[in-house]
Amino acid sequence: MVDTLLSAKHLNIGDNRITVAIARDITQKKVAIREREEQSRRITLHAQALMEMATDPEFVSGNLESGAKKIVIMASEVTDCDRASIWIFNKDDPNTLTLVVGWDRKTQTNLEKMNMTLSSYPKYFQAIRKDRFVDASDAIHDPRTSEFADVYSRPLGISSLLDAPFFLRGKIRGVVCLEHGGELRRWRGYEKQFVVTIAEQVTQLLLNAERKEAKEELEKAVKVRTSELAEALENLQKTQEQLIHSEKMAALGQLVAGIAHEINNPLGAISALSGELRAYLNSSAERMEKLGHDFSTVSTEFVHNLSELIRKGIESKESILSRENKKAALNSIKAKLKDLGYENAHDLADRLLDYGLPSALEEFPSLFLDPKYYPLIKFALEEIHTYKNILSIRLAVDRTSKIVYALKSYAHIDTEENRGKVLTDLAENIETVLTIYHNKIKGGVDVELDFPVRPMVEAYPDDLVQVWTNLIYNSLQAMRFKGKIRISIQDQKKRFGFLFKIMVLEFLRK
């Protein structure tokens, strides 16, 4: 059946009346109109699906398993494909791709996990590393995908493939794969763009999962350290009861004050930074919903550059510019941003300097060309700030761990059942006391340690700690907490073995 447009006209020629008619075949025109309408419908459907996924609670929270499953189900439905899957490179074997989640739309079942060794398929591996997508309309004969036709495509009845790699911090992490069975399928331009966007969503899901894991590890570490501190403080109270009956009650007051100060510093940092981090992560869903439209309006290259800006900020060290140079750099960046039309030029310039990105405008000019992209730049800077907060918390936790270890060593209480000589590291025994007195020492005392040997001797470690405590504190008082303490351990060979001669606490007035 042919669609035809018919036009006719009556003419009088002499005594005769005739009709002239013209017929035009409009089949192709109608097909083109239907294709445009279908394309418009599909693009709208793609946009709606991407927006729903970007604001999905499982996706935003970083639940990798359920988030990935929702992505493949959505992708297969929206693109009308038989199968959709996500493959990730094995961390221990980067030559192996593993199918981590997949969906068969016809049978409504999950795909079984399987591996693909890329050394067996070099052309496909080269294609996903070089190209933004692999559009194989004829998966059996396309040079990029024909290598696994006999072991994968033919057995599964796959005729056409559309794959897109996804990246994390500049490195390829895996592939999103759409598979079609039956007649060969010519992939449309909007379908290729859609699978690329799906790959970028997988990258975002991986980032969300990393943040979730970091948050859980942080909360676990804080819980463990809090428990250890409570135990250490309980032991300290027991130590106080022992010291009440000793001649060093005055030293106890100094000891407790110093320890309280040393513990409060890292705990204050952990509390402040974890609160800020928790607030930021709790607002992830709201921020992703607001940014969904902004991300949909920028190119793939823009998103890649934004990722590179985040990576560079994460890897950068704290700025070591002098006050004058920093002021000059700040004014220079601010002037450039004002010329580009940024109303908040000073704040943005200050944050770029703080995060070690003084040359960001030169390295990533496309990101700053239009102030309307500021929400995306702000998102990148917040990601950098969150990562640096996590590093600061880890440093504080490490410092707290060191204090807790010293307290455990110092506050250990011997009982009649377990009291006895044990093999003791003399140097470590002394260092325990120095850690506890760190707050008193750091203000104006230089400590020089000369431990050419670290002897292990049979001793009562708790008694030794008390000895070092008395000697060190007496010396600190004598020098009025200003000067230098030198501690050395020497061994002298004797006829019947070794004599460890310990020269402790030579203090020099400054």
pLDDT digits (tens, 9 = 90+) for 6-30: 566 666 766 777 766 666 655 666 6
Calpha distance 82→179 (Å, rounded): 6
DSSP string of 63-119, one letter each residue: -HHHHHHHHHHHHHHHHT-SEEEEEEE-SS-TTEEEEEEEEETTTTEEPPP-EEEGG
- Of 4-8, 21-25, 314-318, 421-425, the one with minimum mean pLDDT is 4-8
Parallel/antiparallel/unpaired status of strands 96-104 and 158-168: unpaired
Residue 14, Ramachandran bin (φ over 0: left; ψ between -120 and 50: alpha; else beta): left
Cα separation, 103 vs 75, in Å, equals 9
- Looking at residue 114, which CATH number applies to its domain? 3.30.450.40
Total residue count of the chain as it appears in this document: 510
Q: Would residue 79 count as lying in a domain?
A: yes
For 38-52, how does the pLDDT look when each residue is reduced to its tens digit (9 = 90+)? 777 777 777 787 788
Which of 101-105, 366-370, 401-405 is least confident? 401-405
Alpha-helical runs (H) found in 131-188: 154-156
The answer to whether residues 368 and 449 belong to one domain is: no
Q: State whether 365 and 246 are in the same domain.
A: yes
What CATH code is carried by the domain that includes residue 452? 3.30.565.10
Distance CA 145, CA 177 (A): 12
**Per the domain annotation, does 401 fall within a domain?**
no
Q: Are 104 and 82 in contact (CB under 8 A)?
A: yes
Do 408 and 465 form a contact (C-beta atoms < 8 A)?
Answer: no
197 occurs within a structural domain? no
Rounded to two decimals, the pTM is 0.46
pLDDT of residue 392: 75
What residue numbers bound the domain in which 471 lies? 422-508
Q: Flag whether 374 is in a domain.
A: yes
Residues 266 and 387 placed together within one structural domain of the fold: yes
Structure tokens at 25: 């075949």
| Residue 279 CB neighbours (<10 A) | 9
Query: Number of folded domains in the chain?
Result: 4
* Model confidence band, residue 438 (pLDDT cutoffs 50, 70, 90): confident
Q: Are residues 111 and 247 in the same domain?
A: no
Regarding whether 274 and 166 lie in a shared domain, the answer is no
Which pLDDT band, with edges at 50, 70 and 90, does 140 fall under? very high
Residue 130 sits in the same domain as residue 242:
no
Structural domain includes residue 201: no
Given this model, what pLDDT does residue 89 score?
92
Contact criterion met (CB below 8 Å) for 61 and 212: yes
Residue reference for tokens 């969503």: 201
Pair (28, 62) in one structural domain: no
Rounded CA separation 277/212 (Å):
11
14 with 71, same domain: the answer is no
Domain assignment present for residue 341? The answer is: no
**Per-residue pLDDT reduced to its tens digit, 399-416:** 676 666 666 655 554 444
Whether residue 136 sits in one domain with residue 256: no
Q: Same domain for 252 and 378? A: yes
Token output for 368: 């700053």
Band of the pLDDT at 244, cuts 50, 70, 90? low
Flag whether 48 is in a domain: no
Please report the pLDDT score of residue 286 as a whole number.
66
Q: Does residue 357 contact residue 329 with C-beta atoms inside 8 Å?
A: no
Looking at the fold, whether 377 and 241 belong to one and the same domain comes out as yes
Q: 235 near 259, Cβ under 8 Å?
A: no
